Every structure is written in structure tokens, then in C-alpha cells.
Amino acid sequence: MKLMTIAAIAALAATPALADSLTREQARADYHQARADAARAQVQKEDAQVEAEVQQSNAAQAQVQANAAQADANTLKDQADTTQAQANSAQAQANVAQSEAANAQARAAQAAANRDEALDRADDARATARAN
């Protein structure tokens, strides 16, 4: 019984020292794990920064391309507007020419009528002159 008591007392006495040792080892393990986690987080942060820089560069390039496309579109629109204005001018000129042609045709018809009337008067005058 005395041996058991001594063993129990020795176990109780060793427990705090063993517990302190286990606590220290667990704290060291936690510390090393935390440092490893921090290192992984730093690498992830750096990777994310690099990716963000790449995406920012891509966005800048896309903006340059969009600006160039917009400038091209504006140039093409200006050309289309100029062509439309030229077409409108040509249409107006065609309308004027058509109107002038209609007027000339009307004058030609009137001239033909005047000629026919003059020929009729000449025929009448010849007939009157022969009759006398």
C-alpha cells in the first residue's frame, strides 16, 4: 500500500511537469502552424496582387482598343454623313434637272404647236393667194 501511495504521489507530482511540457509543445506546434499559415497567406496575397495587376493591364489594353474602335466609328460616321450630304445634293440637282427637262419639254411642245399653227396659217395664206 505504501508503494501505491508513493506511486500515486509521484504521478501527481509528475503530472504538472508533464502537463507544462505538453502545453509548451502544443504552443510551439501552434506557433509553427500559425507561421506556416501566415506564409501561405502572404503567398496568396502576392499571387492575388500579381493577378490584379495583370487584370488591370488587360483592362487598360481593352480601354485603348475601345477608344480606337470608337474613333474609327466616329470617322466612319463622319464619312457616312458626308456621303449622305453628297447624295442629298445629287438628288437635289437631279430634281432641278428633271424640272428643267419638263420645262424644256413643255417649251418644245409649245414650239411644235406654234409651228403647226404657223404652217396652218401659211397653208391658208397660200390657198388664199392661189384663189385670188
- Give pLDDT tens digits for 49-82: 999 999 999 999 999 999 999 999 999 999 999 9
Q: Model-level pTM? A: 0.51
What's the CA gap between 58 and 110, in Å, rounded?
Answer: 77
Lowest mean pLDDT among 2-6, 21-25, 33-37: 2-6
Per-residue pLDDT tens over the stretch 105-118: 999 999 999 999 99
The predicted structure's pLDDT at residue 71: 98
Rounded to the nearest integer, the mean pLDDT of the chain is 89
Task: Examine the pLDDT at 9 and tell me if it is beyond 60.
Answer: no
- CB neighbour burial string for 12-45, b if at least 16 within 10 angstroms, e if fewer: eeeeeeeeeeeeeeeeeeeeeeeeeeeeeeeeee
pLDDT class of 14 with cuts at 50, 70, 90 = low
